[in-house]
């Protein structure tokens, strides 16, 4: 499943790489967030085997992807592979990923090694790292591929740019939180899947190339400001939901700055608000922290 928004050429390249990788029982779904660059027409013309869900507008990463995830779950698929439209899949990657996943009961999410599309000797992401100072980052980003593990290893979470997820895990943990809109929504989802008891693994022998930051680039100052707003707002929401109290106290000055910046920038993002999301995050904190302690999830804070 692929989400796209005004990314016609990248989306077509991604679909080109998938053409020989999917079987007759598979479905490839592209969710289009109201692209104005002819993406939908091009897909229907060049890739008639692909299903297109037209979202009708820019719903953001979370809500835009959820339209496709709901369709896949409603149709009873056992697995869902989430791909960014700026990725390309190496030949045989999907078969190798599925073969490994089929042997790993209890693991709900699998991430291939993401490599830099501009230099495939460099790692783009080897999974998500939780930061003690709040927030998250991609493990081993920019490091040589030779530094990646030689065999599948547990990771906290999978980057949504390429993640194979059990449908049963999504039914248990839920889909993306649509209030996040974009940025860090995949980290929140990984927390909830782990709270449901599912593990996550990196499968480094499977490679997917990724054009880092294509979907997030914008030249307009208002767009850059909106992106900074979502980063600040969503980091605060994640911290309130999941971070241990000692780490929250240590990060309090930094979080205070993020809170002030997010509140100041709210007016630049019509329809978006900070406080309702933060209140909802506080409301689930106690139950989340209780479950995290029981499951030993604090070991993932680095």
What tens digit of pLDDT does each residue of 164-188 get?
Answer: 999 999 999 999 999 999 999 999 9
CATH class of 2-210: alpha beta
Residue 156, judged by CB atoms within 10 A of its CB (0-12, 13-18, 19+), counts as: buried
Q: Report yes or no: 30 and 43 within 8 Å, Cβ to Cβ.
A: yes
- Distance, CA of 292 to CA of 216 (rounded, Å): 31
Distance set, CA 17 to CA 12, 89, 92, 135, 212 (Å)? 9, 5, 10, 32, 18
What tens digit of pLDDT does each residue of 29-83 get?
Answer: 999 999 999 999 999 999 999 999 999 999 999 999 999 999 999 999 999 999 9
To 10 degrees, what angle do helices 221-242 and 275-295 make? 40
Residue 302 token pair: 């680095």
Q: Report yes or no: 47 and 15 within 8 Å, Cβ to Cβ.
A: yes
Residue 253 token pair: 């000055």
Cβ neighbours of 246 (radius 10 Å): 10
pLDDT at residue 227 above 80?
yes
Q: Report yes or no: 50 and 15 within 8 Å, Cβ to Cβ.
A: yes
Residue 85 token pair: 């439209």
- Distance, CA of 79 to CA of 82 (rounded, Å): 10
Distance set, CA 295 to CA 153, 170, 184, 197, 260 (Å)? 18, 19, 22, 8, 33
Distance set, CA 150 to CA 127, 145, 176 (Å)? 15, 10, 31
What tens digit of pLDDT does each residue of 130-171 get?
Answer: 999 999 999 999 999 999 999 999 999 999 999 999 999 999
What tens digit of pLDDT does each residue of 209-222 get?
Answer: 999 865 445 444 45
What global pTM score does this model have? 0.96
Looking at the chain, which residues constitute the CATH 3.90.550.60 domain(s)?
Answer: 2-210
């Amino acid at each position: 499943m692929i989400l796209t928004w005004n990314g016609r050429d990248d989306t077509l390249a991604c679909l080109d790489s998938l053409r020989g990788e999917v079987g007759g029982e598979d479905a490839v779904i592209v969710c289009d967030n109201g692209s104005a660059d002819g993406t939908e027409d091009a897909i229907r013309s060049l890739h008639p085997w692909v299903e297109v869900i037209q979202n009708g507008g820019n719903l953001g990463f979370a809500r835009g992807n959820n339209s496709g995830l709901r369709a896949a779950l409603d149709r009873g698929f056992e697995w869902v592979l989430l791909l960014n439209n700026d990725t390309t899949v190496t030949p045989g990657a999907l078969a190798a990923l599925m073969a490994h996943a089929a042997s790993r009961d209890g693991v709900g999410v699998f991430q291939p090694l993401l490599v830099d599309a501009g230099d495939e000797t460099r790692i783009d992401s080897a999974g998500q790292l939780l930061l003690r100072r709040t927030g998250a980052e991609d493990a081993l980003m920019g490091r040589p591929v030779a530094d990646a593990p030689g065999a599948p290893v547990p990771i906290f979470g999978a980057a949504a740019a390429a993640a194979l997820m059990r449908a049963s895990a999504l039914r248990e943990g839920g889909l993306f939180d649509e209030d996040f809109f974009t940025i860090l929504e995949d980290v929140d989802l990984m927390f909830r899947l782990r709270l449901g008891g599912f593990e996550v693994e990196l499968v480094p022998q499977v490679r997917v190339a990724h054009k880092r930051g294509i979907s997030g680039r914008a030249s307009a100052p208002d767009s850059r400001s909106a992106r900074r707003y979502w980063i600040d707002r969503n980091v605060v929401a994640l911290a309130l939901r999941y971070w241990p109290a000692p780490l929250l106290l240590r990060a309090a000055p930094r979080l205070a700055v993020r809170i002030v910046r997010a509140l100041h920038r709210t007016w630049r993002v019509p329809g978006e608000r900070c406080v309702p999301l933060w209140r909802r995050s506080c409301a689930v904190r106690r139950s989340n922290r209780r479950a995290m302690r029981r499951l030993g999830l604090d070991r993932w804070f680095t």
